[in-house]
Structure 1
């Protein structure tokens, strides 16, 4: 039992020693930190005293210079004067450069103006208009007059047997129809494409006979009047269409 009590006391004493050492180390650290703070405080105090003395000196010099009109205000005004003089010199240099540039450019401008005056005097309005027309013309010629077929000249009756002159018919009727076809072909460039026309009616009993003196002529056996009426009926509706095309 004594051995057990002795062991516990020894163990407890060892714990107390270690705890005491730890607290002593913490105390030394705290003392060192406190000494460092005292030193910083002394340095700050000395610095504060020194700065206060410098502030007092600066305040005294400020008051002295503020009360003296020739100490600071004259220097400021002199600096303003120097700045204004530099500005004046710079402006004079700029104006001189501008004047030199204008003096060099004026002859060129006057020459250009003289050329413009000469070009304006040499304007030919008719030649210019013709040049514009030649430049923008399309190349299409204006359409001519539309030929009109005269149906009253197609039929030439004889006194005796109602013959039709072959030369008149060929020279009048066929040429007129060919010219109408050409005119319609020209209109295809500007309007609708013409429809193919049906061939004209021809008499069924047309034949050639000869006379005793050797001349030939065309005769109709039964249907000359019927053929002419068909030609007139088919030709009348063409007249308004030709007028509308001409308009």
Structure 2
């Protein structure tokens, strides 16, 4: 995927944009640290990529203070669980701080093992995740508009590209195609799930792309199949 992404950037910018990539994986090592590099991209196209592991902070659930008046009779309650952003904050801060230094890029690109070498040395596959990116609880990506995420748009209260004022809100099924699920389509989805070591994210991505479906409906179909 990464070489194709780099190639797309080069084609879109006609090769005039110098760039570097940090690829972050979650909880694939015991600490937040760089794992490997993509030396071929650096050698052939001068677009280095460093792969980092981000160790999420998963604090032990703590008890909140009981109500002051004790009217409910409750003595304690579980505190609200931290968000994914909370768990990743320190890790991303470490990565951003390190990779903002040119000297760090040069040293890591020269010293880290190549991706293929690192994967072979692990002797075990990457740990799969079932977490999909969500917006208001819906597995979706709303960054398809050029103006999404712009601080200028945020200041104006409307998107400077398309003019929307709702923050590019999405809803369940917005990108669903409502295509019939044939037996061969279902078999392909389950095969992708098996080939990707039960990684729902990878299976949904591969199937949705191949069958030209929305990720939301593909994910729901997979969940329905797994619950049968």
TM over 0.5: no
Which structure: larger Rg?
A: 1
In the superposition, the TM-score normalised over structure 1's length comes to 0.15
Greater fraction helix: 1
When you count strand as a share of all residues, which structure comes out higher?
2
